[in-house]
């Protein structure tokens, strides 16, 4: 028996998100299916992040236990042969049997992509949120700095959240323009439901001049979802990657 960890990149466009659902095409379902095709075993992977429908990833994580003798670092090749081109195993490796990708210290980075151009660009429509209004990236950066640190993020969390606590620590919330694309980067030790999309929606409002960067302080204090901006659409969101120490997992 070995526990194998996969680093998984995907285009979320054609999936109903990560988590297995009856009658729906999901990333998890495709992975379970590919592992079955390779090992003959009926396995359910454990995902690190159950991303929503339409959300993309450069590096989500999944682990599974297998009796297969395929070396951990070769699973990426075997599984990529069985997966469609919109899901790629970037790498694979054996991890300690007690390692669990959700019960360990990790730092996660998200990107949110905003196409801020005069006209819509068809080849970018599935991988960004479109907005043609002038947006001041420096104001967005200033607003982002008020979100960095340990805060109660209730205002930046879907009201359906079932998390026991809404306190999380963010290490970076920045915005940068690359030609007509504004990329928001959010790096933190944990994220609430829709948190990055609400941060993106709020920063977009402030970038357009609706409210000031320092308004973030009051939004956090109110601990009320209605204090923050709208939830930006799923297709602009990318789970960029994890920093995780597999061998010293708790």
Residue ranges binding a copy of itself (CB under 8 A)? 9-11, 56, 58, 85-88, 90-91, 119-123, 125-127, 178, 238
How far separated are the first and last CA of the chain, in Å rounded? 21
Looking at the Cβ atoms of 126 and 227, the one nearer to a copy of itself is 126
User: In angstroms, what is the minimal distance from the CB of 196 to a copy of itself?
Assistant: 16
Nearer residue to a copy of itself within complex by CB, 76 or 106? 76
**Catalytic: 65?**
no
| Smallest distance from a copy of itself to CB 97, Å | 27
Least Å from the CB of residue 10 to a copy of itself: 5
Question: Smallest Cα–Cα separation from 185: which of 200, 163, 169, 195?
Answer: 200
- The active-site residue, picked from 52, 86, 136, 180, is 52
Nearer Cβ to a copy of itself, position 126 or 163? 126
User: Least CB distance from residue 61 to a copy of itself, whole Å?
Assistant: 15
Of 91 and 158, the one with the shorter C-beta distance to a copy of itself is 91
Known catalytic residues are 52
């Amino acid at each position: 028996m070995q526990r194998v960890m996969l680093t998984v990149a995907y285009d979320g466009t054609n999936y109903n998100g990560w988590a297995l659902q009856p009658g729906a095409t999901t990333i998890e379902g495709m992975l379970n299916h590919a592992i079955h095709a390779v090992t003959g075993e009926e396995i359910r992977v454990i995902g690190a992040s159950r991303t929503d429908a339409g959300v993309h990833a450069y590096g989500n994580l999944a682990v599974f236990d297998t009796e297969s003798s395929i070396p951990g670092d070769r699973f990426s090749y075997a599984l990529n042969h069985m997966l469609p081109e919109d899901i790629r195993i970037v790498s694979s490796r054996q991890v300690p049997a007690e390692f669990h990708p959700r019960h360990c210290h990790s730092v996660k980075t998200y990107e949110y992509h905003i196409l801020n151009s005069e006209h819509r660009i068809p080849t970018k429509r599935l991988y960004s949120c479109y907005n043609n209004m002038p947006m001041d990236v420096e104001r967005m950066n200033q607003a982002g700095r008020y979100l960095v640190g340990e805060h109660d993020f209730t205002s930046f969390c879907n009201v359906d959240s079932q998390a026991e606590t809404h306190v999380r620590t963010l290490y970076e919330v920045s915005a940068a323009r690359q030609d007509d694309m504004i990329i928001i980067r959010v790096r933190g030790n944990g994220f609430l439901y829709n948190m990055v999309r609400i941060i993106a929606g709020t920063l977009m409002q402030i970038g357009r001049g609706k409210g000031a960067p320092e308004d973030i302080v009051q939004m956090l204090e109110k601990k009320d979802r209605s204090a923050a901006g709208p939830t930006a659409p799923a297709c602009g969101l990318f789970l960029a990657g994890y920093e995780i120490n597999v061998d010293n997992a708790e």
